[in-house]
Structures are given as C-alpha cells and as structure tokens.
A and B are shown apart, each in its own frame.
Chain A
Amino acid sequence: MFQPVQGYRWYGYIAGALLVSLVVVLILQQTPPRFRKPLIRAITLLGGLFYALEFFLPTHPMPTPEDPQRVGNFLTPYVVPFGNTSVIIAAWTVGLGFINLVQVHSRRLLRGAEGAFNSAVLLISMAVMIVVHILQKVHPNAINKNLHHLLFDGALQSLDATMFSIIAFYIVSAAYRAFRVRSVEATFLLVTAVLVMLGQIMVAQAVTMHLPHNLHVEVIRDWILTKANAPATRAIAFGLGIGGLAVALRIWLGLERGSYFEAQE
C-alpha cells in the first residue's frame, strides 16, 4: 500500500502529503465542537475494534508468496496497511506537538513575558537543528555533515548526557539524607539496597570471590532479585495489567471522563 519512492517522485509525494494534511487539518478545525467528540469516539472505537476482532476471530491457513505458513482471518491482510496508517498518525502528532510548541513560545516571546529569553533559545535551536538536519540529508557535503555532527553529537547529546549525569549528585545526597533506620521496615530496605548495590559492582564481587559461593555478593543480589523482588513485581504487574485493561476499555468505549474535548463544552 505504501511503497517507498525516490528522486522527484519523493518530493511530489511529500508535497502531496502536506497538501492533504493541510486540507484535513482545515476540515477538522472547521468541525463544530459538538461533532468532534462523537467523531473521535467513533474513530477510537473502530480502531480498537479492528485489532480486537483480528485477534479474537478464528484463524485459518492463509498462505501468501511471502509467507506460505501464514494463518489469519479476513482482517489479517489489513494489519500491515493499518499499522502503516497508525504510524503516519503518530508522526502527525509529533508535527502537532511542534506547532503547539511554536505557538506557545512565539506568543511568550512577542509579549516579552517572563522566560522570553528561554523561549527564544528554544525556537532558534529548533529551527537551526531542523534546517541543518534536512541539509545534511538532502546535500550530505562536508560542511553540512560537520555542522550536523557539531550540533547533534557535540551539543544535543552532550547536554542530554550532562542533564542525566547531574541526577547522580542529587541521588547520592538524597540517599545519604533519606536512608535512615528509623523502623524495622526501613532497616530491611536499607540492608537489601546495600546488598543489591554491592552485588552490582565489580570491586565488591572481586572482594567476595574467595568466600564460599553462597556468600558471593552477586549470588546474594541474584537471590534477592529473583526470589524476593520478582514475585513482588509480578503481583504488581498483575494489578497494573487489570487496571490498564479497565482504563483501555473505558477509553475505547468513550466512557472516560474529561477526554474528547469535554472541557470545551
């Protein structure tokens, strides 16, 4: 259904997709709020129904040239196009997020409100990154590649890594202040945490290497993780699964409160 194209056809497809997207957005914008909720409800219901029926309906052999062993039902051939469509819709949401971000920060910048400088940095960074990325994809010459390398590897990745690394400092400080043996439960937690941490580091493993096998820190760590932690997380996972199923059913059937533009009504 969606075959990849190259060269001028690619540009044509991109232009066509943008045009269609624009028309769809305009139509949706013009839709009165009272029709939006049933429209989204219907699309959600149909989308969920497709996958539910495809999964639950009986299957029979459906050999294809690509997959002679395939089994499925009458909906199975549509899973791939449906998946591709949902990927496109998900990509759309990224675009909508981008538009929203630009709107919010442009407004703040134009008003000169608090944090306008940060908004300016965000908008400039975003514009530069988009332009440079497209340039290095379309014209991968040395300048564009180096510029992309500088911004993506040099700036973005380093900033991302730095931000997460800083958390380590807070964790150490917070662990030191919060981990106090004020009750029996807290003592259990502390002892378990220390044992798991020790089991996770090479120095402690090397130190206990010459002790009897059952006293090796990594053996104690594995015992805690598989015999104490795993059953507990399994129980939580069951609870979460049932809760998730209930929420999914509510969303699918349009019963969830506060969704689908209810705030606008």
Chain B
Amino acid sequence: MDLLRLLQTIDRRFIYALLLLAVSAPFFLSIRIPVPISPQTQALYNAIEALPPNSFVLLGADWSAGSRGENRPQTEALMRHLMKRKLRFALLCFDPQAATLTETMAKRLQSEYGVQEGVNWVNWGYKVDLENFLKALVLNVPQTVSADINGTPVANLPVMQGIQTARDIRMILDVTPSETFKAYIQFVQGTYKIPMGLAPTSVMAPEAFNYLDSGQLIGMINGLQGAIEYEQKVGYVGQATRAGLSSSFAHLLIISLILLGNLAMLLQRRQRARLLEGRR
C-alpha cells in the first residue's frame, strides 16, 4: 500500500492503542511541570482570598462521574481553599450523583483542615427544578433548603447561623459540566450582585467568557488546566497535576495525528498533480 495513503487511513485500533499508551505512560513518570497561572484562575483565587473570615460561600456541584476527570479536581481545589481559609460553605447539587461525590470528598478533607460538618460546612444535598429552587432560595434560604443531606433541619445548624436570604451569601461557586451556572447568574447572582466564580469543563468554558467580560463572573477555573493552576495556587499536588501529563500527551497525540493525516493528503495531492503534468 502507498505510504501516503496509509498515513491517511491508519487503522482505528492502532489509534486506540496509541491513545491508551499516551494516557497511561505518564503514570510511570514523575515529571513536575510548573504552569503559568491564567488571569481567570488568579482572579478567582484572589476573590476567595479577599473574603472576610467566616464568610458564607455557596458551592454548587452539578457534575457526575462522567465528568469527574475535570470536575472532581476543580471541586477539591476549591473546597481545600475554602477549608484552608476557614470559610463556611454549603454544597448544593442539581445532579443526584454529585451530592454523594462531594459529601465523600468533604468528609475526607475535613480532618486535614480541622473543620467540621454542620459547623464549617453543610451538604444541602440533591435538589430538583433548578430555576424555581434558586428563585425561592434568594428570598429564604432555611425555608427553601429545609433539611440537609442527613435530614437535619438547616435552621438548627451552627454553619447556617445568620444565613436567611441570598444577601447573606458572600460568594457563589459553581462546578459544572453544563449550563447550570446561567441559572445561578439569572436568579441568584443578579439579584444581589453576589460575586460568582465558575469551574466548567474545558468544552463549556468558551461560553463563559462573555460572563467574565460582563463582570457577572469574577473568575474561572477552566477545565483540567485551570484545576492544575488552582492546585498550584492552593499549594498541593492533586489529581489534576497528576493527570495533567496524561492530558498533555493525549492532546499532543490528537494534534500529531491530525497534522500527519493532512501532510500526507497534501503530499499525495502534489504527487498526483505532478503525475498529471507528466502525462500531458
């Protein structure tokens, strides 16, 4: 078979094997690459740093296991930062899996930072009907949330002291692979101009730049790369940093294959043109 044609029609099983190798090989390497911090990540970090101690933050987590490659390290980085700064926070999930996933994460991290469930953080659990729930939440938090994931009335929890309306929330953060952040902007952020940060998957990030331009979002953790940057800012080596090299190799493989296929196509075209010219 012609080599140029072969380079344009590489067997998909060979591509799958290459990808598997590209993703798994970095697990056996221990290379640490410092990354520059993007302005969006820096802005979000600074905004959380500027919050007064004991401020109340609403941490929306609307992801499931399908997007945990990006959303889990983002959530963990934000949670660590909030716990490190001893800020109070509430987890709110509009995805049934997220409630359990974030609960497990918070319970794992709380002993490391000396914080306690019910005192420093609370899991409001899985809620349905995003828009109407948020619209009611703005006016009365304890009545809308009612009880936490364990069934304890939130009004009785020390972490919720002084939290009556959305006006008492100092910052909103949303970790999401979908468009849930738009509902937060429409119904919560917009009402009292509460500062809001976003942690979307890379594929959703381009849609969020408009909201950064308008000032409705104060900062953003853009996908896995943003999570690597945030881990660096918070000062720990987490899942994102470890997976960063695998992601890099996989992207480089895609780029190499695309360029190889195009190069072969262009060379083949040139070859054909020369052949036609020769015949004339």
B54 within 8 A of A: no
Complex Cα–Cα for A79 and B140 (A): 9
A4 touching B139, Cβ below 8 Å: no
Complex Cα–Cα for A239 and B233 (A): 38
Chain B 243-254 interface mask (CB, 8 Å, partner A; 1/0):
011011111111
Stretch at the interface among A35-43, A113-121, A190-198: A190-198
* The one of B15, B151, B209, B244 that contacts A172, using a Cβ cutoff of 8 Å: B15
B248 touching A87, Cβ below 8 Å: no
B237 within 8 A of A: no
B206 within 8 A of A: yes
* The one of B65, B136, B248, B261 that contacts A203, using a Cβ cutoff of 8 Å: B248
A176 touching B15, Cβ below 8 Å: yes
A131 to chain B, nearest CB (A): 17
Complex Cα–Cα for A163 and B127 (A): 25
B65 touching A157, Cβ below 8 Å: yes
* The one of A3, A66, A94, A222 that contacts B39, using a Cβ cutoff of 8 Å: A222
B38 to chain A, nearest CB (A): 6
B24 within 8 A of A: no
Chain B 48-78 interface mask (CB, 8 Å, partner A; 1/0):
0000000000000000111111000000000
Residue of chain B at shortest CB distance from A169: B16
A53 within 8 A of B: no
B257 within 8 A of A: yes
Residues from chain A with Cβ under 8 Å of B15 in the complex: 169, 172-173, 176
Complex Cα–Cα for A153 and B72 (A): 14
Complex Cα–Cα for A169 and B101 (A): 26
Once A87-B133, A202-B35 are accepted as A-B contacts, the answer to whether A190 and B210 lie under 8 Å apart by CB is: no
B228 to chain A, nearest CB (A): 6
Within 8 A of A (CB), among B172-206: 202, 205-206
A8 within 8 A of B: no
Residues from chain B with Cβ under 8 Å of A229 in the complex: 206, 209
B34 within 8 A of A: yes
Complex Cα–Cα for A200 and B153 (A): 43
Stretch at the interface among B81-89, B106-114, B141-149, B272-280: B141-149
A200 touching B144, Cβ below 8 Å: no
Once A169-B16, A200-B251, A201-B251 are accepted as A-B contacts, the answer to whether A180 and B210 lie under 8 Å apart by CB is: no
A9 to chain B, nearest CB (A): 12
Complex Cα–Cα for A179 and B258 (A): 6
A225 touching B209, Cβ below 8 Å: yes
A91 within 8 A of B: yes
A226 touching B209, Cβ below 8 Å: yes
Residues from chain A with Cβ under 8 Å of B144 in the complex: 80, 83-84
A190 touching B16, Cβ below 8 Å: no
B250 touching A168, Cβ below 8 Å: yes
A204 within 8 A of B: yes
Within 8 A of B (CB), among A62-87: 66-67, 69-70, 76, 79-80, 82-84, 86-87
Residue of chain A at shortest CB distance from B247: A201
A264 within 8 A of B: no
Residues from chain A with Cβ under 8 Å of B64 in the complex: 157, 160
A172 touching B19, Cβ below 8 Å: yes
B223 within 8 A of A: yes
Chain A 140-182 interface mask (CB, 8 Å, partner B; 1/0):
0000000000001100111011011100110111011101110
B132 within 8 A of A: yes
B100 within 8 A of A: yes
B4 within 8 A of A: no
9 intermolecular pairs with C-beta atoms under 8 Å apart:
A51-B135, A83-B133, A87-B132, A158-B65, A164-B67, A175-B257, A200-B225, A201-B225, A216-B36
Query: Which B residues lie at the A interface, using CB under 8 A?
Result: 10, 12, 15-16, 19, 23, 33-36, 38-39, 64-69, 97, 100-101, 104, 127-129, 132-133, 135-137, 139-140, 143-144, 146-147, 151, 153, 164-165, 167, 202, 205-207, 209-210, 212-213, 222-223, 225, 228, 244-245, 247-255, 257-259, 261-262, 265-266
Other than A87-B129, A200-B251, A202-B248, give 18 A-B pairs with Cβ distance below 8 A. Answer: A2-B143, A3-B146, A51-B135, A66-B165, A80-B139, A80-B140, A84-B143, A84-B146, A91-B129, A168-B23, A175-B258, A180-B261, A180-B262, A194-B258, A197-B251, A206-B35, A225-B205, A230-B210
Query: Which A residues lie at the B interface, using CB under 8 A?
Result: 1-4, 6, 10, 51, 66-67, 69-70, 76, 79-80, 82-84, 86-87, 89-91, 94, 152-153, 156-158, 160-161, 163-165, 168-169, 171-173, 175-177, 179-181, 190, 194, 197-198, 200-206, 209, 216, 218, 222, 225-226, 229-230, 233-234, 237
Interface pairs A-B: 9 shortest CB-CB: A83-B136, A90-B129, A157-B65, A160-B65, A164-B66, A66-B164, A203-B248, A86-B132, A201-B248
